[in-house]
């Protein structure tokens, strides 16, 4: 199948690699061209703009950083909608605003394209191992057509409703992760303060009712002082802001998520550590 992939950062590169391994032909674009070098070496074709990717491919994935990046790639000069998208399928895997997903779907429908919003969970490990969880919004028929592609890069894909539903599900996911990240960080700070063996604490807590994905995946990295991004702190802060803005629009108050946002603001905005992984939150306590 002729597939386009726009955005080959930590997550996008691994997803695109798995699509190539599944036997698909890829056309790729990224603002930093060198981040597509491994994909081109594996057989992908470089394009010099999102518009060129759309011209070459039948199904186009986007995996970007921020909503403004999504807006630019879809609506900007030489963007996706500058091409003839009639009959094409557009799948945005960026964690973005539900209302932007709805806007893209509306534009796509007007131009004859099929559109899904399909943010993912699972971090860099899930992207590399093709075990991502994929949360989808859009039409059932389009989801069914794309399910084999989702199966090539993830272990679970679920349709949650019309356009924007995938993004709303990802916001629910990020709200949950906010709790596990703050809980894990404070647990380690407490255990260290009490003079406990942190590796033994991880092993024991992770075997009980407090076990969670953040603990098992990021806890060991913290003990190794490995703060490389499986998921950038700056992107997680972006997600928490989207979640809280959307919750406010629904008349919901989420105090624990607000507190998590404030902690990540200290890490990203004040300490300028947004390019580290989300596990770097513990640096607010550990210098």
Distance CA 191, CA 250 (A): 38
- Residue 261 is a catalytic residue: no
- Six-digit token string for 283: 């640096």
CA 215 to chain centre: 19
Cα–Cα distances (Å) from 140 to 5, 29, 137, 155, in that order, read 22, 28, 9, 19
Catalytic residue among 114, 128, 170, 238: 170
Q: At what angle do helices 198-205 and 165-193 cross, to 10 degrees?
A: 140
Q: How far is it between the farthest Cα atoms of the chain? A: 63
Nearest to 125 by CA among 34, 217, 51, 191: 217
- H-state helical runs in 30-164: 37-41, 50-56, 67-75, 98-110, 123-129, 140-153
- Indicate the SS3 state at residue 67: helix
DSSP state of 33: G
At a CB cut-off of 8 Å and minimum separation 6, what does 148 contact?
none
> Which residues is 61 bridged to in the sheet?
5, 91
At a CB cut-off of 8 Å and minimum separation 6, what does 103 contact?
none
- Six-digit token string for 275: 């390019």
The half-sphere exposure of 259 on its side-chain side, counting CA atoms within 13 A, is 8
As annotated, the active-site residues are: 170
């Amino acid at each position: 199948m002729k597939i386009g992939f726009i955005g080959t950062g930590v997550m996008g590169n691994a997803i695109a690699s798995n699509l190539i391994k599944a036997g698909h032909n890829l056309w790729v674009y990224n603002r930093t061209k060198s981040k597509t070098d491994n994909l081109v070496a594996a057989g992908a074709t470089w394009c010099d703009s999102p518009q060129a990717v759309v011209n070459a491919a039948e199904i186009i994935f986007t995996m970007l950083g921020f909503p403004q990046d999504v807006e630019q790639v879809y609506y900007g000069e030489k963007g996706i909608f500058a091409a003839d998208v009639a009959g094409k399928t557009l799948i945005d895997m960026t964690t973005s605003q539900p209302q932007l997903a709805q806007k893209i779907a509306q534009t796509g429908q007007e131009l004859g394209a099929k559109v899904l919003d399909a943010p993912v969970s699972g971090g860099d490990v899930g992207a590399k191992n093709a075990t991502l969880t994929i949360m989808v919004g859009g039409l059932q028929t389009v989801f069914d057509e794309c399910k084999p592609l989702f199966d090539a890069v993830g272990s679970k894909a679920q349709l949650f409703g019309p356009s924007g539903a995938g993004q709303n599900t990802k916001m629910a996911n990020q709200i949950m992760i906010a709790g596990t990240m703050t809980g894990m960080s404070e647990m380690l700070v407490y255990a260290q303060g009490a003079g406990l063996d942190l590796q033994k604490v991880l092993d024991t807590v992770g075997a009980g009712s407090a076990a969670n994905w953040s603990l098992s995946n990021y806890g060991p990295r913290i003990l190794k002082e490995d703060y490389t991004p499986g998921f950038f702190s700056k992107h997680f802060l972006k997600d928490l802001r989207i979640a809280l803005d959307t919750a406010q629009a629904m008349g919901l108050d989420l105090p624990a998520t607000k507190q998590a946002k404030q902690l990540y603001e200290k890490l990203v905005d004040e300490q300028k550590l947004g390019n580290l992984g989300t596990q770097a939150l513990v640096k607010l306590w550990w210098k």
